[in-house]
Structure 1
Amino acid sequence: MKLVYVFDAYCGWSHGFSGTLREVVSRHPELPVDVVSGGLFTGERRVPMRRFGHIQEANDAISGLTGARFGESYRRLAVEGSFVMDSEAAARGVAALRQTAPSRAVELAVALQLAFYVDGLDLSASATYRQVAREAGLDADAVVAAFEAPQAQKAAEADFRRTSELGVTAFPTLIAVDDSRTVALARGHATADEVDHRLAAVGVAHTS
């Protein structure tokens, strides 16, 4: 069995789920995790932040429920309103980080969300991936090269296809996959204990 984590780097609820995700991974080191980008802000949804009038209310709800922090740099970006969240570019970044350090995909996905939601960094900019890579102790040149390579675009498109094939329509979604069986463990929000309870129902015990 493995876990599949479908998220979007520009999704506030995915940011809020980071704590649960890290705890689940800590409790179940025996379960590999595929990190998949969902593509929340693509096509016609790729518009300036000011077009999403509910952002502050949503962030307040996320903070209240999960304790997730939204940094001042990000808040200024949201208030100014001209920034465009491009999930395709972010998915290329996720793919580049995942390619460079496959075993650290969860950690790096969380780091990328912190780069945006705390530091207000642009997930379409090579400089962001250089910074994330350096802070993670990775080869920054290799990560940037992977981000800028055509293969990253193909990987992003493959992630979006996989999201559709899994039937995921809301982010984040955490799924357990065992052969042909898929079981939803979390959609939007869940605690680590709730995820554990659902894992136990499919025969995975909390042993760590």
Structure 2
Amino acid sequence: MIQLIYVADPMCSWCYGFGPELQALLEMMPDANLDIIVGGLRAYNQEVMSEEQRQTIRGHWKHVAEATGLPFAATGMTQAGFKYDTEPACRTVVATKMLADHLSPVQLLSVFRAIQHAFYAEGKDVTDLRLLSDIAVRALNETDGAESFDASSFYETLVSPLCMADTRQEFEQCQRWGIRGFPALLLVHNNALHMIASGFTKRAALVSAIEEIQKNGRLL
């Protein structure tokens, strides 16, 4: 079985752009197992976003839109006092893993994608914990095919010290692996980690990298 580790942040625009490529790869390899590790792109940032910062980030978004065709809302990051803190969105992914361990990591990607869609395509403030709870529960119930989750219970997990600590541990794991940019996709092969994507990467290149590692045990 192919074992992949996806290291990303829901509020990373190139992770948003990479989503369809990752989905296409997983559809080609339905037996692959995927672990999701959150990276903390701008975790714990408490600086209110300036107009200059907003325009700089919008420049990055324009590049992603041109490369992928994905939608970006003009209202993104325009909320009064908006702080580009990616920890809450990352923590939502961790809370999802804690509460929905009966779902496969591939199914759990639905929450990751729902946060991205809310932030980029709808321009919502996904630093809001109540909103994040609503987004996650809606995605989970759609994926699970039942009303298995409710926003109040999800919120309780989201604000728990354990969830905060687990999120920080994932950030620290990324640092130990030496991963500073997102997205990153790792392949576990022969008890070793192999980087098959560092940044936005097309599906064909991902497949070639996996095949090369499986054949020779390394990337050329």
TM-score range, shorter chain: 0.7 to 0.9
Q: Distance in 2 between matches of 1:46 and 1:93?
A: 21
Residues 13-162 of structure 1: matches in 2 within 5 Å? 13-43=14-44, 46-48=47-49, 50-52=51-53, 53-71=55-73, 75-79=74-78, 82-102=81-101, 103=104, 104-124=107-127, 125-137=129-141, 138-141=148-151, 142-162=153-173
How many correspondences in the alignment?
201
1:187 to 180, 183, 198: 198
Q: Distance in 1 between matches of 2:78 and 2:135?
A: 24
- The Cα of 1:128 is off from its aligned counterpart by 2.6
Gaps of 5+ in 2: 142-147, 216-220
What percentage of residue pairs aligned between the two structures are identical?
Answer: 22
Q: Which amino acid aligns with 2:33?
A: P
- The Cα of 1:179 is off from its aligned counterpart by 4.5
- The Cα of 1:161 is off from its aligned counterpart by 0.9
Question: Residues 80 and 183 (structure 1 numbering): CA distance in 2 closer, same or farther, change over 3 Å?
Answer: same
Q: String of CA shifts for 1:34-68, please: whole Å, max 9, x gaps.
A: 11111111345754163523122211110111222
Q: Distance in 1 between matches of 2:135 and 2:43?
A: 24
Give the structure-1-normalised TM-score: 0.86
Q: Distance in 1 between matches of 2:164 and 2:214?
A: 37
Q: Which amino acid aligns with 2:84?
A: M
Structure 1 contact 175–186 (Cα < 8 Å) conserved = yes
Gaps of 5+ in 1: none
- 99-108 or 167-176, which moves further after superposition? 99-108
Q: Which amino acid aligns with 1:171?
A: F
Aligned to 1:173: 184
- What SS class does the counterpart of residue 72 from structure 2 fall into? coil
RMSD: 2.2
- 16-25 or 82-91, which moves further after superposition? 82-91
Give the structure-2-normalised TM-score: 0.82
Structure 2 contact 92–136 (Cα < 8 Å) conserved = no
Question: Residues 175 and 123 (structure 1 numbering): CA distance in 2 closer, same or farther, change over 3 Å?
Answer: same
Q: Distance in 2 between matches of 1:196 and 1:51?
A: 39
Structure 2 contact 13–61 (Cα < 8 Å) conserved = yes
